[in-house]
Amino acid sequence: MTSLGGGSGERDGETATASRIRDAAIERFARDGFRAGLRTIAADAGVTAGLIVHHFGSKDGLRRACDERVLEFMRREKEKALTDGTGTMLLAQMAQVEQFAPMVQYLLRSMQAGGELAAQLIEHMISDAEAYLSAGEAAGVVRPSRDRAARTRYLAYQATGSMLLWFTLHGADAEPERFPALFRQYMGELALPALELFTEGLLVDRSMLDEYLMYVPDPPPAPHDAAGTDGTAS
């Protein structure tokens, strides 16, 4: 009934049934996590478990197909939406559209479980943020950093990670119908503190930062773990 493709559900070399199975899998994985059984997905798609492995080889093959579909969809959708550099806005906008909500939920499930798609996604977001922050610096609205790469990664991890945690605690077992509303609520609670922190910071004076800069080499320290048993930086 609901074709996740938003138009072109089928791709090169894929039969209509295969794409229907794959879309049902995305929806079921989004709802129940990746421990959902093949028979459940098969029932959702109105087919048999055997047919799934006939088309995708194995459950892992099915998951790879889902990953690929979601990733390609994200790539295509990214250029149509104005991003805030962290991907949060992009996901938020996508979650509003009922048709795309399962994709966002599937994505968060992926990050919950780890794996290739999650890693690619976060790197994707980091490179987006890199471009966005660089443009902001050039335009004079974003302060330059002593280590731009590190800051970019830091911001992307913060934004994505807090969203993931929030989803895990409040939205993982929720019906997909409630998902857009939950996402709106998350953004609403987020906006003010984020803007405050981004424009005014958190600390009153610079002593902590300056103190830190006294003790470590400036831009990019050794990327590999040095010795140093002191873990406390107060």
Binding residues (CB under 7 A) for DNA: these are 15, 17-18, 36-40, 46-51, 53-55, 58-60
214 binds, among DNA, a second copy, none (CB under 5 to 8 A by kind): none
- Which span (14-22, 63-71, 99-107, 142-150) binds a second copy, by CB under 8 A? 142-150
30 or 95, CB closer to DNA?
30
Indicate the length of the chain as a whole number. 234
In the bound complex, what is the minimum distance in angstroms from residue 176's beta carbon to DNA? 20
Per CB under 8 A, 195 contacts a second copy: yes
Per CB under 8 A, 175 contacts a second copy: no
Specify the 3-state DSSP secondary structure of 57.
coil
12 or 200, CB closer to a second copy?
200
In the bound complex, what is the minimum distance in angstroms from residue 131's beta carbon to a second copy? 16
Residue in 50, 57, 61, 161 binding a second copy, rule: CB under 8 A: 161
Query: In angstroms, rounded to a whole number, what is the distance separating the alpha carbons of residues 204 and 209?
Result: 11
- Give the closest residue to 56 by CA, choosing from 99, 6, 17: 17
For 203-221, letters b (16+ CB in 10 Å) and e give eeeeeeeeeeeeeeeeeee
Per CB under 8 A, 201 contacts a second copy: yes
Per CB under 8 A, 26 contacts a second copy: no
Looking only at residues 31 through 50 of this chain, which bind a second copy when binding is defined by CB under 8 A? Answer: 35
Per CB under 8 A, 3 contacts a second copy: no
Looking only at residues 105 through 124 of this chain, which bind a second copy when binding is defined by CB under 8 A? Answer: 111-114, 118-119, 122
The residues near 23 (Cβ < 8 Å, ≥ 6 apart) are 3, 4, 5, 9, 45
Per CB under 8 A, 204 contacts a second copy: yes
For 14-39, letters b (16+ CB in 10 Å) and e give beeebbbbbbbbbbbbbbeebebebe
Query: In angstroms, rounded to a whole number, what is the distance separating the alpha carbons of residues 100 and 89?
Result: 14
